[in-house]
Amino acid sequence: QVQLVESGGGVVQPGRSLRLSCAASGFTFKSYAMHWVRQAPGKGLEWVAVITYDGGKKYSADSVKGRFTISRDNSKSTLYLQMDTLRPEDTALYYCARVQGGTTSGNIDLWGQGTLVTVS
Amino acid sequence: SYALTQPPSVSVAPGKTARITCGGNNIGSKGVHWYQQKPGQAPVLVINYDNDRPSGIPERISGTNSGNTATLTISRVEAGDEADYYCQVWHGISDPSVVFGGGTKLTVL
């Protein structure tokens, strides 16, 4: 079935690194732009980064710029988020999400269940 | 940077109409998307591009967008509508970003 499954979360000390993965299945991954969106415990949604269908363009939130890198491997139908120099305020549930249509500016029509990152 | 403002909470009795606003500078010029999130679950799209309902979303849920305010309207509210609701836009050209509103907790009395 159509789904996104995140992995790679865990507990990490401040200043360390972590790489999240998101495995896509049931659809043509290489045709879609993809986001990472996070949600701190008890808080709202916060956009992290987006990547075009071919990986040619990437945009990220100011709060993670220079520390987090979004990437993808279309041959493996997998999205990644490399998180460096982690801070306690990066603690959150990280969602992988698909953009409807072929551009980066559309709505999100598919979400994973998230992977929890705790920086402490 | 661009900001979207939502009321933290809205309460409504069953069968009544709930209206959740999303304020932003000239938001009427942008496409607004709305998501519903229930506890422990991932968000679900309920309205895209201001007023388009995805398949499976009941007609009781609708959206409008004009000027500086977008509004999500839920008619004949049911207990199952109790959730957090988020508005979202795509903003910018040279260094674009996704912006979410702070979210509104809808409580069904």
Express each pLDDT in B4-15 by its tens digit. Answer: 999 999 999 999
Is there a contact between B42 and A111 if contact means CB atoms under 8 Å apart?
A: yes
Listing DSSP states for chain B in one string gives ----B--SEEEE-TTS-EEEEEE-TTGGGS--EEEEE-TTS--EEEEBTTTBPPTT--TTEEEEEETTEEEEEE-S--GGG-EEEEEEEEE-SSS-EEEE---EEEEE-
Which residues 43-82 of B have a C-beta within 8 angstroms of A?
A: 43-45, 48-49, 54
Q: For an interface test with B, give the residue of A51, A99, A108 to mutate (most B CBs within 10 A).
A: A108
pLDDT at A113 over 90: yes
pLDDT band, residue B105 (cuts 50/70/90): very high
pLDDT tens-digit series, residues B65-103: 999 999 999 999 999 999 999 999 999 888 889 999 999
pLDDT tens-digit series, residues A86-104: 999 999 999 999 999 878 8
